[in-house]
Each structure stands twice: as structure tokens, then as C-alpha cells.
Amino acid sequence: LGPLPLTKGQCKFLVVAVDYFTKWIEAKPLATITASNVQKFVWKNIITRFGIPYAIISDNGLQFTDKKFNNFLENLGI
């Protein structure tokens, strides 16, 4: 989501993950919405806490269609 009004850490974007079944939400404010930041979010907030998901559904933003991000997902079998 974003851009939002600036916060203390110059964060103006919000990356959000929602579990399809339980509707559990994980969210993190970001200063820039890059593939690298999204990859770190997925690793730290999703995979290390809940395991590897079966699939990730996105809005096909540039950060989700990035080649490095897609390689990261393919290497994990997502």
C-alpha cells in the first residue's frame, strides 16, 4: 500500500501479507518498496515464522515481478 503520509523513519509504504485461510495479517512499514525489501519481509515475517507457503498471490507490482524475487521464490518451491 502507499504512498502514505511520511512517518518518523521516512516510511511511506506498507507491505501486507494475509493468510488466505485464517485471515492472519502480517504488515511492515517500508521507506522504499523494492524487491529486496519485499524479499526480506517474506523471509523474516512469513517463512521463518510460519514455514514455506504453498503460494504467494500479489498485485504484480514491479517488486513482485522482479527476476531476483522470482528466483528466490522458485528456489523455495513457491
In percent, the amount of the chain with pLDDT more than 70 equals: 97
Given a cut of 90, is residue 7 above it in pLDDT? no
List pLDDT tens digits, range 58-74.
998 889 999 999 999 99
pTM: 0.83
List pLDDT tens digits, range 20-58.
899 999 999 888 889 999 999 999 999 999 999 999 999
Q: Which residue is associated with the grid cell 509504504?
A: 13
Per the DSSP assignment, residues forming a β-bridge with 14 are 29
State the pLDDT confidence band at 2, using cuts at 50, 70 and 90. low
Under a CB-based contact definition with an 8 Å cutoff, are residues 21 and 33 in contact? no
pLDDT confidence of residue 1: 62
The domain defined by 13-76 folds into Nucleotidyltransferase; domain 5 (3.30.420)
